[in-house]
Amino acid sequence: MNHVYNKIIKRATDESVACKVRCTSCSTTGEVTINDTKVVLNTDGTKTTFDWSISAYDTLGEFADAVNAVTDWEAVIIDGLRSDSINDDTLDLVGPAGTLTGSETMGATGSDGVSFGWDSSAAFKFPVSIQQEDLPSKTSTNGLSDVTDSGIENVAYRISGELTDTNCTSTLTVYKCVGTTETAIYTDTGPALVTNSMFDFFSGDDVPLSAGDPEVGGRLVAVMSTDTTMGEAFIQIHGQSINRARQAVDGN
């Protein structure tokens, strides 16, 4: 039995998925509409509106919690932190056909729902997470995800970056995220005057960065921040989600 979910995650500008929102009732027609700073959930004609421009919903965690409080709706954070600020300049509605603009509507009753992606060119940061099957665990989402975290350990062996402008500065911060707690466990500064070539922020094949005790579960989130001269940039993670519980039972 395969107990290791191999990951090589590469996210370029505007490709990180901040969160996913979906309607969980198979008997309900759920739609998501984005219009400027407002997100509207439509459940068979009953609408709930969240305005990112007001303080009650201007962080990723606040928005996810508010969606999860609506009957038949679920939001899970993917590549991001609960503390990340959101508004119409940094978060876009992203679907199978790409980024939607203006006032547009997408169906949210499928298994993947609707993805909200970061506009990295506005925020100058590139978040990427390591987690089982690219979905948050139950513990890291306060029980709202359908992905079990029993015995799962999320680890990163190598974190690399690339910039196209030699004047750009870059910093990596890695967070362990369990429930509502987000703890910085590693930080590093990218090398000066490097352009169009990969460089390693972190390399630890023997002792990788870990999201912690697998019985607790958690996401491992790496964030590369840059200044305004970044040009094109991306962060890449080599990591794994390992089922330690099954390894202990099966012995491999």
Q: What is the DSSP string of 230-247?
A: --SEEEEEEEEEEEHHHH
Q: Please tell me the number of Cα atoms within 13 Å of 144 on its side-chain side.
A: 27
CB count in 10 Å sphere of residue 32: 24
Share of the chain above pLDDT 70, in %: 72
Question: What contacts 4, CB < 8 A, 6 or more positions away?
Answer: 240, 241, 242, 243
> What's the rounded Cα separation, in Å, for the pair 12 and 20?
19
> What's the rounded Cα separation, in Å, for the pair 215 and 217?
6
Mean pLDDT of all residues in 207-215: 75
> What's the rounded Cα separation, in Å, for the pair 37 and 10?
28
**Looking at residue 202, what is its pLDDT?**
92
* φ, ψ of residue 223 in degrees (nearest 5): -125, 120
Q: What is the pLDDT of residues 25-51, one digit of tens each?
A: 766 678 888 876 788 999 888 999 999
Structural domain including 174 reads: 4-250
**Looking at residue 11, what is its pLDDT?**
59
Mean pLDDT of all residues in 144-160: 75
**Looking at residue 141, what is its pLDDT?**
62
* pLDDT class of 20 with cuts at 50, 70, 90: confident
Mean pLDDT of all residues in 57-61: 90
The number of distinct structural domains making up the chain is: 1
Q: What does DSSP assign to residue 70?
A: S
- Mean pLDDT of the chain, nearest integer: 78
Q: What is the pLDDT of residues 87-106, one digit of tens each?
A: 766 777 665 545 555 677 88
